[in-house]
Structure 1
């Protein structure tokens, strides 16, 4: 296994960048978003470029992520890890803070430099009204380049995160298509990193309607389920 998360992500999509790598469902809204390795890679690269070029982050800098499981959260996290930044999820001084719009009260407790709000719109549309003190992540990230060369080696937490992911990936293998109930497995080590470490693709489901599970598994050609 690669020794850094950026390499793990690159390896997971290398065999066929056009195949679905992350498919996102929200049964409360009816949302379904499918991203190939290449498309997710573009979002990851744009996020990393935003962090380095716009926010001025350097390897090791702390970044706060107050986001639920979501395909945009995957892009944010993988972008942070590509830039070798340290992701923190408890209130602390950070250089950049990413926050869902329904967690802005919580975000107020964080001392932060740049602040980006995410509405987590199904189609990644810009926000009509941007919260005071924040920039709209979608609007900001779209202007950045589709390619980013990750720094050599891993970030400070990569080894520990990948070790945890490898242990959670027991029973999964290359080519698996893993359906994950993100309410039961909200840790990104489970719903994001564990499948990627073994070259599996992900069907991440929020507000999972278990009555749809069998049909969805058939439609998405699911081979493993974490629910």
Structure 2
């Protein structure tokens, strides 16, 4: 399958246009009982707000890099897509590099300290996108701050040769899309699929976000998966592909 888009923002826009009201990413955390369903339109809203936060709030521009020291989560998806839509590069938090901003959780603050970004945001990844009661020193609350920004982003176009992933990867958008298409084929994900993904088995965004996105599939993303609930959940969510 050849990619029909050349950038992450193009792939995301195509997914939203397909059916903006349909579930695009559904999140489960069986440790907390959290279930959050995001339609294409809702996720697009979070992505746009995130891009506006990065550009208008933090003051970043093309060529800047943002570290995402975060586990798989729907907010991580909004951040990674927001970084891409804003024309920035995402450092996925594997090897410390100089960056302009850092996003993490309180539990990963010590690890995130290795990245040297001056602007630092934390999120508790809490149900209902609740803010943190106590912030780590030197951090702003992502979910509180992002709500202050606009629902639409109007920035410079992102090109296939622009850097998409920084850090040890240094991949441009066309490379990321090509890799995601190959990964979707390896995982058996095709257009229209509803893919249930166990984050413990597939922690990389290439698997749980980008491969389904470029394939034209939607995601049921499960953390701390209770396997006794797998059959009923698959039926309720109309799952067609299970990666668990």
Question: Normalization by structure 2: what TM-score?
Answer: 0.90
Deviations 1:162-217 (A, max 9, x none): 12111111132221101111110000010001001011100000111112111110
Q: Counterpart in 2 of 1:187?
A: 204
**Which stretches in structure 2 are left out of the alignment for 5+ residues?**
164-171
- Partner Cα separation in structure 2 for residue 73 and residue 3 of structure 1: 22
The reply on whether 1:133 has 2:138 as its aligned counterpart is yes
Q: Counterpart in 1 of 2:236?
A: 219
Shift of 1:160: 2.0
Query: SS state of the match for residue 123, structure 1?
Result: helix
**Which residue of the other structure, out of 172, 177, 188, is the alignment partner of 2:194?**
177
- Partner Cα separation in structure 2 for residue 149 and residue 182 of structure 1: 32
**Which residue of the other structure, out of 183, 188, 206, is the alignment partner of 1:168?**
183
For these two proteins, the number of residue pairs brought into alignment is 227
Deviations 1:128-149 (A, max 9, x none): 2221101000111000000113
Question: Normalization by structure 1: what TM-score?
Answer: 0.97
Residues 193-204 of structure 1: pairs in structure 2 closer than 5 A: 193-204=210-221
Residues 27-106 of structure 1: pairs in structure 2 closer than 5 A: 27-88=30-91, 89=93, 90-106=95-111
Shift of 1:126: 1.5
Q: Counterpart in 1 of 2:168?
A: none
- Partner Cα separation in structure 2 for residue 108 and residue 174 of structure 1: 40
Residues 115-130 of structure 1: pairs in structure 2 closer than 5 A: 115-130=120-135
Query: SS state of the match for residue 119, structure 2?
Result: strand
Shift of 1:150: 4.9
Moved more, 214-223 or 144-153: 144-153
**Which stretches in structure 1 are left out of the alignment for 5+ residues?**
none
The reply on whether 1:159 has 2:210 as its aligned counterpart is no
Shift of 1:151: 3.1
Query: SS state of the match for residue 8, structure 1?
Result: helix
Query: SS state of the match for residue 82, structure 2?
Result: helix
Q: Counterpart in 2 of 1:142?
A: 147
- Partner Cα separation in structure 1 for residue 176 and residue 198 of structure 2: 20
